[in-house]
Amino acid sequence: MGAFISAAIIIVIAVLIIFSCISIVPQENEYVIERLGKYQASWKAGIHFKFPFIDRIVRRVLMKEQVADFAPQPVITKDNVTMQIDSVVYFRVVDSKLYAYGVENPIMAMENLTATTLRNIIGDMALDTTLTSREQINSQMLGIIDTATDPWGIKVTRVELKNIQPPASIRDAMEKQMKAEREKRAVILAAEGEKQALILQAEGKKESAILDAEADKQATILHAEAQREKEIREAEGRAEAIRVVQEATADGLRMIKEAGADEAVLKLKSLEAFAQAANGQATKIIVPSDIAGIAGLVESVRSVKD
């Protein structure tokens, strides 16, 4: 009975040892294996078996991209202004062996490297340049840190300056400067608005004067055309009246002639015309030389009528 119990115990221990030697590596992870204290292999995702007592897992390495948020670091600019700047580094492990054996504490080493690199870059810049050159600083830091972390099996994908905090006195001065700049812009905009208003008003008056002058010009032209038309119509009326009178006179003479009137009748008509000419406002009348003959003719006509 004792021998059976001992055998059962041995079997259980053997099963436990076998199960303990089976390792399952999760996705996006790698296990660094040492055999008798020496690097043996890097296990990738899946099931693996290690020799008991001689193989051991010395490091479990996460292969996904990671984010390291470092605490604010004091830095001094070229014009001797001390600022607090915190940075964020995005990285991923590309070689688990180098990550395990390249440096004692990769994250701490990368944090110190980031701080020193940031101080070197900011030290060559003035305050105003630092506040407006985030992209340039990020690019320089990325190139330097990525190159320096290659022996550690780390690939730096991105570096960002999370926050830049100048001293309180500098912030107050910047706020006053911004306030003055905003007030300046407001005054300029107001002056520009008044200028545009005056220009528009002057242009409006100019356009109004031009339109008034044009209207007066058109009115004068229309009045002159109307007066000219009136004079033309009056002249045409007078001409028509003269024409009608002349036609009537010609018709009368033609009718007298057709009626067979003799010279005495014609002279009598001339006398009547002379009488009509004298019955007016004329101050001088020219008497024809044969007026006596015409008078005798009149007496003859009267005798015949009697």
What distance lies between CA 222 and its chain's CA centroid?
Answer: 48
| The two structure tokens encoding residue 226 | 């109307």
In a shared domain, residues 199 and 214 = yes
Q: Are 47 and 69 in contact (CB under 8 A)?
A: no
> What is the rounded CA–CA span in Å between residue 117 and residue 122?
9
In a shared domain, residues 297 and 244 = no
Instruction: Identify the pLDDT of residue 64.
Output: 92
> What is the rounded CA–CA span in Å between residue 296 and residue 294?
5
Helix axes 106-122, 134-148, angle to 10 degrees: 140
152 inside domain: yes
b/e map of 164-202 (b: 16 or more CB within 10 Å)? bebeeeeeeeeeeeeeeeeeeeeeeeeeeeeeeeeeeee
In a shared domain, residues 85 and 136 = yes
Does the model's pTM come out above 0.75?
Answer: no
In a shared domain, residues 85 and 154 = yes
Helix axes 291-305, 263-278, angle to 10 degrees: 110
- Can you point out the beta strands (E) in the chain? 22-25, 29-35, 38-43, 46-49, 55-62, 66-69, 73-76, 82-93, 154-165
In a shared domain, residues 56 and 83 = no
Phi, psi of 41 (to 5 degrees): -165, 170
Instruction: Identify the pLDDT of residue 256.
Output: 66
CATH of the domain at 95: 3.30.479.30
Under-50 pLDDT residues of the chain: 277, 282, 292, 297-298, 301-306
What distance lies between CA 104 and its chain's CA centroid?
Answer: 57
216 inside domain: yes
In a shared domain, residues 47 and 94 = no
Q: Residue 189: which domain range?
A: 183-260
173 inside domain: no
Instruction: Identify the pLDDT of residue 304.
Output: 44
| The two structure tokens encoding residue 246 | 């002349």
Instruction: Identify the pLDDT of residue 146.
Output: 92
In a shared domain, residues 56 and 74 = no
